[in-house]
Chains A and B, each alone.
Chain A
Amino acid sequence: MIAYIIRRLIQSALILLGVSIITFALLYLLPADPVRQIAGRSATPQTVENIRQQLGLDQPFFIQYWRYLTNLLSGDFGRSYIQRSEVSELIVARLPASLLLMVGAIICELAIGLSMGLVAAVKRGSVTDQTLMVTSFVGVSAPQFVVGLLLLYVFAVQLGWFPIGGYGTWRHLVLPSLTLGILGAGWYARMMRSSMIDVLRQDYIRTARAKGLQRGTILLRHAFPNAILPVVAMIGIDIGIFMGGIVVVESVFGWPGIGQLAWQAIQRVDIPIIMGVTLVSACAIVLGNLLADIVAPFIDPRIKLR
């Protein structure tokens, strides 16, 4: 188990190295010039050139990357071009808000998705099943900014149950989490339904019935742990999808997370921040997958980590 985790962490470090090279190269090839953004429109060519030299952006690609990487290994993410502060400080300040949002979204996904899938599987073929599946399809296909604005309009503007935006209490958390989680909830509902239908056909469910167990016990104790396995593997992948989603959701709800930070940085070609946020996201995805793999043997004793 520990050997497995260490090996996976080493693999993860290699993945992050790959991500850093690719992202750095993409940003290097970007036609937008960060120096022009910093210097402003009225700057003389001499000023522009000075800034370029100051930031080391006149150096060849590999030297630039090497310098970034060596700094990175000593924990230095660089300084923001625009905000004049350390990237690591900016990220650390905003990361908790984003993590909170992600946890909220995962809870929404699991609660809504799994219960919808479970009910649909049990009532397979009924009107309830069809209604739930159409709903899940809407969840899967609706763009997040539309879902977000719709929720805002109904629950914040019309009903006034939740605040329109901002950060602070649990009330602020509900609508952003729902918006971020609804996409995943749709997927989970569909996955859970098919997985559950498959499990309910298995011989051991018949054995459980032959023991005289009540229907609810059979569903929750015998069928559910078997059906949830593919969903657990999915949660790891989901964290990656979240990273795309939070950029949109944090903008719509004014949520002070790294999504907003990234969005501002992209607009101003603030390369150190973009790099930093990308690496932190990649880290989250890698760790999320690792976590899902570590949890799996606790649900299914047949899975061995090697």
Chain B
Amino acid sequence: MSVAPETGAMEASATNRRPAVGTATPVLDVAHLSVTVRGDDGEREVVSDLSFSLSRGETLCIAGESGSGKSMTSLAVMGLLPQPAARISAGSVRLGDIELTRLSESRMCRIRGDRVAMIFQEPMTSLNPVLSIGRQLTEAIEVHTALSRGQVRQRAIEALQAVRIPEAERRLTQYPHELSGGMRQRVMIAMALALKPDVLIADEPTTALDVTVQGEVLELLRDLQRDTGTALILITHDMGVVAEMADRVIVMRNGAMVEQGDVADIFSRPKTDYTRELLAAVPRMRREAGVAAPALFEAEAGGAISNPVASVSDLKVRFDLHGGFFGRVDRRVHAVENVSFQIARNETLSLVGESGCGKSTTAKAIAGLVPYAGDIVVEGRNLSGLSRTDRNAVRRDVQMIFQDPYASLDPRMRVGDLVEEPLVVHAIGDRTERRERVADLFERVGLSAGQMDRYPHEFSGGQRQRICIARALALNPKLIIADESVSALDVSVQARVLRLLKDLQREFGIAYLFISHDMAVVENISDRVAVMYLGQIVEIGTRDQVFFDPRHPYTKRLIDAVPVPDPAHRRAQFARLDREIPSAVRRVGEEPNRVTLSDVGGGHLVAA
């Protein structure tokens, strides 16, 4: 059982257990709801004929991929549809006895935040940067109650304590930028639950958070819900979260409900093909050892790789911070500290760790995008000793695929030209040869050569990521760095892109440096895994060594925090991070503790 909130704000009571589904009168009843959005090509229905009801204390998960209408549904219930483009075209939303769809804006204001509250996906941008936490929290209470200033302040402190924020009183004077993402999301939850609403809508509340923080936030939502009896609508694309949290599940696709049912039934006996496909596409962590590591590693017992594609030793990346009267460097961010690893041909090495652990900076150093100290050797050539032209030649061998396929393609260039650009930059072939090469690449990544003259906005997210892959392949690289390259994609698309990456590796013998926060994806694609914490590698080994025999406590916590997409394996309590991850900023001259890795067998290196 979890810790009960310290104060009376959330009135802990054991009698408020969730009632058996269907017996109580519904708190929220949505019937035949349709939402239309007006666009350039007329009105388009984004939610069609959706009906569901929600009882007190119940958790309903609405699952689906992007464009399924799940967010629009929640905005429609809140009366927050983007004006004037979107509107409710049919159906009703009843909260108790009140019909919300016909309510005036001023009466709806009294409902919002008081009886129906909402938390959003992006904790980093969902709080107003120029107002203090206290101000934002108290105004949510003030607007719906007639309490005195002191009472409101007391309620605000209680709400912060209920979401387990340490030093609640001091937080009131802080500003959002002084808090981490997980803390901010807790503030959002405190704000939403301060008035004990009948219904809480959480739209992807943990998607932007690190996996260890995700567990805490989910547990918090579950505990608070149990204490207050609030009905929860949880909108998510993550089937692991669904399995962990839901009583009932609605699966949506293209604005319509595909299937609804009890969480156990949805996972064990899905009725529709779409649900089955969705579940099949979810990357799972296989706890049982079964897949043999690539032959290369069995041969190299000591963990050293002969003739690696890339070899990094004692890599350090530090960023200077200026301060003091003369603006001298007085502190440094120790982003990467003494990182060493090797990647062989045909191999996928994954870097995992939470945001800020230095995994992306490591990748940038290898790609030559940030200054570094230490040695990076690609194909036997040390990058730091090379002239400008030689370094450019080496860069051909190292290509990158970024996280956001929407932002990493110039919207004003044709996709064919985008893929051709690396060839132009390195002056390879003439115009016709290059066009042929681009056409080949398009076919190879599963697009057609006929699409070369289109612009990026005409493609879906998955297709755009394929274009990025084609661009990375254009120069026949030896090493591709994939920085969170599938994180922004829906699971079904993600699975297809991962398969493409694996196929390309088999065909061309490319090595991947795969960077991800998603442990399940990492477990599926990697040959070897390195776990980073505060800029240093704390554990590195083959996939099976790291996932089935994790030695470092941080690795164990990372693996344990991943929600398992199986409602039978629901956890009562998640591993909790008692404090925030320490900062990597140090004063000049203050050296971080250097971890030493020792071999625990078979090249499995663990920090002591």
Contacts and interface: CB of A to CB of B under 8 A. Distances in A.
A214 B106 contact: yes
Contact of B127 (A3, A207, A299): A207
B191 interface: yes
Interface residues of B, number: 37
B327 A204 contact: no
A214 B128 contact: no
Nearest to B112: A212
A306 B327 contact: yes
Interface stretch (B113-121, B362-370, B520-528): B113-121
A212 B113 contact: yes
Contacts of B324: 3
Contacts of A300: 129-130
B323 interface: yes
Interface stretch (B95-103, B138-146, B529-537): B138-146
A213 interface: yes
A208 B128 contact: yes
B322 interface: yes
B125 A211 contact: no
A213 B109 contact: yes
Contacts of A222: 128, 131
A210 B111 CA distance: 9
Contacts of B80: 206, 209-210
Interface in A13-66: none
A221 B130 CA distance: 10
B587 interface: no
Contact of A213 (B117, B122, B139): B139
Contacts of A302: 129-130, 175, 177
Interface of A is mostly: helix
B130 A299 contact: yes
B128 A226 contact: yes
A204 B113 contact: no
Interface in A212-232: 212-215, 217, 221-222, 225-226
Given A204-B126, A204-B127, A210-B113, A301 B78 contact: no
Contacts of A158: none
B112 A209 contact: yes
A225 to B, nearest CB: 5
Contacts of B129: 204, 226, 300-302
A7 interface: yes
A299 to B, nearest CB: 6
Contact of A207 (B106, B132, B144, B188): B188
B127 A212 contact: no
Interface secondary structure of B, over-half rule: loop
Contact of B122 (A6, A7, A203, A212): A203
Most chain B beta-carbon contacts within 10 A, residue among A7, A203, A210, A300 = A210
B412 to A, nearest CB: 21
How many chain A residues sit at the interface, stated as a range, is 20 to 34
B110 interface: yes
Given A202-B125, A207-B188, A221 B131 contact: yes
Interface string B490-509: 00000000000000000000
Nearest to B109: A212
B131 A212 contact: no
A149 B191 CA distance: 56
Contacts of A214: 106, 109, 143
A301 B175 contact: yes
A284 to B, nearest CB: 26
A225 B132 CA distance: 13
A301 B177 contact: yes
B125 A204 contact: yes
Contacts of A221: 131, 139
Contacts of B112: 209-212
Interface in B304-323: 322-323
A3 B325 contact: yes
A94 to B, nearest CB: 38
Nearest to A304: B323
B117 A210 contact: yes
A208 B188 CA distance: 11
A303 to B, nearest CB: 10
Contacts of A209: 80, 112
A306 B323 contact: yes
Interface in B155-199: 175, 177, 188, 191-192
Interface string A213-256: 11101000110011000000000000000000000000000000
Q: Name, among A213, A215, A226, the residue most crowded by chain B CB atoms within 10 Å (CB to CB).
A: A213
9 closest Cβ pairs, A-B complex: A212-B113, A212-B112, A211-B113, A203-B125, A204-B128, A211-B140, A301-B175, A210-B118, A3-B325
Interface of B: 78, 80, 105-106, 109-114, 117-118, 120, 122, 125-132, 139-140, 143-144, 175, 177, 188, 191-192, 322-327
Given A204-B126, A211-B117, A212-B110, 8 more contacts: A3-B325, A211-B112, A211-B113, A211-B143, A212-B140, A213-B139, A217-B143, A302-B129
30 contacts: A7-B327, A203-B122, A203-B125, A204-B126, A204-B127, A204-B128, A206-B120, A207-B188, A207-B191, A208-B128, A209-B80, A210-B78, A210-B112, A212-B109, A212-B110, A212-B112, A212-B114, A212-B143, A213-B139, A214-B143, A217-B143, A225-B131, A299-B130, A300-B129, A301-B129, A302-B129, A302-B130, A302-B177, A306-B323, A306-B327
